[in-house]
Amino acid sequence: MSFSIDGKTAIITGAANGIGASIARQFAENGANVMYADIDEKSLKKELGETAEDSNVRYFAGDLREKLTLANLLSATVDAFDRVDVLVNASRQMATTDPLDMDDETVEKLLQQNLMTSLRLSQMVAKRMIKQDEEQDHEFAGTIINLSSIAARLTQPELLAYSISTAALEQMTRSMAVALAQHRIRVNAVSFGSVMSASLQDKLRENPDFRKEIEAHTPAGRIAPASDVVEAVHFLASNAAGFITGQVINADGGRSLIDPVSIAAH
């Protein structure tokens, strides 16, 4: 089996910055056709600059919480590259929650952003993968990869909504894996913590001492660069992961294995 993703077409959401942008960049540099998708058009343009019509990268800006926007994203990808082989749902949002405030709407908000957007886009893309596989037989029809967090299993009260939404995303991963296996579509997730995400960068700017706390509760003793998540996603997108589906791979330096009470998940 090959770790190559050369020639595959991938949609990467949340690709304007942070880990999503790192994944998209890795895919493009390794020969994949990449559609960068995000609501932040300004950052997309900054990330990509001027893209030629014959290049292997494009971008799509829009609110992916809207079904019409999702449909337009898929259409733009097919128009540009004829097919889609990989979907990486890297768009996610974190917000704090007051667990006792009945007027707090962050649970609904993060379920929409972190679960429903990924689910609806996965459904649309899976239908396209099935259709194009019927037209031209391939060893694998496609693969879907969701980005989750160790907050799905380890949490603090103020991360209630984030924990619920990521836990739901992981269960969606398993359910969709079973539903799509007969169509030769694999569905997996990468759950990370102790990785230098955009949200963690913001928190470290607010509280530089927080780095020492994270490192103390991470068996690997460090905060990983985004590349550690990127490589896991790359592997799952390649044919080398051909018999892997319905799995949640932890990229957290062992952090989810110890002392859940004192861990501030990211």
What does the pLDDT look like over 122-181, one tens digit per residue?
999 999 999 998 877 667 899 999 999 998 988 788 889 999 999 999 999 999 999 999
Q: Which CATH superfamily is domain 9-262 in?
A: NAD(P)-binding Rossmann-like Domain (3.40.50.720)
Rounded CA separation 86/103 (Å):
38
Question: What share of the chain in percent tops pLDDT 90?
Answer: 66
Would you place residue 200 in the very low, low, confident or very high pLDDT band (cuts 50, 70, 90)?
A: confident
Mean per-residue pLDDT for 80-84? Answer: 96
Q: Considering only residues 90 and 200, tell me which one the structure prediction assigns the higher pLDDT.
A: 90
- Domain coordinates of the chain in residue numbers? 9-262
Would you place residue 260 in the very low, low, confident or very high pLDDT band (cuts 50, 70, 90)?
A: low
Burial 143-179, CB ≥16 within 10 A → b, else e = bbbbbbbbbbbbbbeebbbbbbbbbbbbebbbebbee
pLDDT, one tens digit per residue, over 39-54 is 999 999 999 987 756 6
215 contacts 263 by C-beta, under 8 angstroms? no
